[in-house]
Structure 1
Amino acid sequence: MSVPGNLVSTLSMALRWGDMDAYGHANNTVYFRFFEEARITWLASLSLGAEGDPTGPVIITTSATFLKELNHPATVEVRTYADRAGNTSLDTYHTLTDADTGDLYAEGYAKIVWFDRESRTSAPLPDALRALAAS
């Protein structure tokens, strides 16, 4: 599997029993929560986008491809990749794998737009994010 961009973060998380649905596997929304947690943790590690900052990230497009059923108990690893940077946006990709076996459960995408919280408009992408993007 080839994911676009540069690997910028890896985060392990446990699948909780309550994340399961009536079919006995992780609900599809859980995958998006894993991607979100990985993205927010990564941005926080760069001291970007914290609550109260004048600017921060908003997601304008997101998607997931579900490749394998995810069942409890499991520890997953989410890898985040930074790809193409625009003036105000950054394409990011995620993979969600089993932390023990490496089995690939899902792939995801999110387009981040940097946002001025006061003017409610897009803002220049921080240089720290631009530097991590694939050339």
Structure 2
Amino acid sequence: MNDPTPHAHPDRKLLLTTRIPVRWGDMDAYGHVNNTVYFRYCEQARVEWLEQSGSAVTPNNPVAPVIINASCTFLIPINYPATVVLRMYGGEPGRSSVMTWYELGVEGDERIYAEGSSKVVWMDPRTGKSVPLPEDIRAKVS
């Protein structure tokens, strides 16, 4: 099992820290947050970061960020009531994409409860083809 304590990643840049309250309905039959909800927490952080970066996901944008893969490793169960503290990191940008990583913890506890990643690619919604990473996004992750 991975070490569940926060650690530094010299190849990653902290992009966002957000807090998300765990809802009663986030739990499963075992009394802890359902594994699918962790992906929703990461999605929420990603959307917050995109909105703050000027790349909000809206039908009017000429270029749109989409994820092409996502993963999550569950280290410690999260239970209700709690507030998730999610740290989102970015890596070296590519031509049209950037890797993002997530560390999920619980407020008041320094351990990492889950860690995940996703690759975000910018595309032209009209063609479905990748497009160069917007310069403002490139600057934020570099």
Same-fold call, TM > 0.5?
yes
Show the counterpart of 1:91: 99
Letter in 1 for 2:107: A
Instruction: Tell me how many residue pairs correspond in the alignment.
Output: 134
Unpaired runs of 5+ residues, structure 1, are: none
Deviations 1:91-135 (A, max 9, x none): 01010011222221101100001011111111111112211224x
> Runs (4+) of structure 1 moved beyond 4 Å?
none
Letter in 2 for 1:25: H
State the identity %.
43
Q: CA deviation at 1:84?
A: 2.0
Which of the pair is proportionally richer in strand?
A: 1
Deviations 1:31-74 (A, max 9, x none): 10000000001000111133021111111111011110110000
Report the Cα distance in structure 1 between the residues aligned to 2:29 and 2:48, rounded to whole angstroms: 30
Show the counterpart of 1:82: 90
Output the aligned Cα RMSD.
1.2
Is structure 2 residue 29 aligned with structure 1 residue 13?
no
Unpaired runs of 5+ residues, structure 2, are: 1-6
Q: CA deviation at 1:75?
A: 0.2
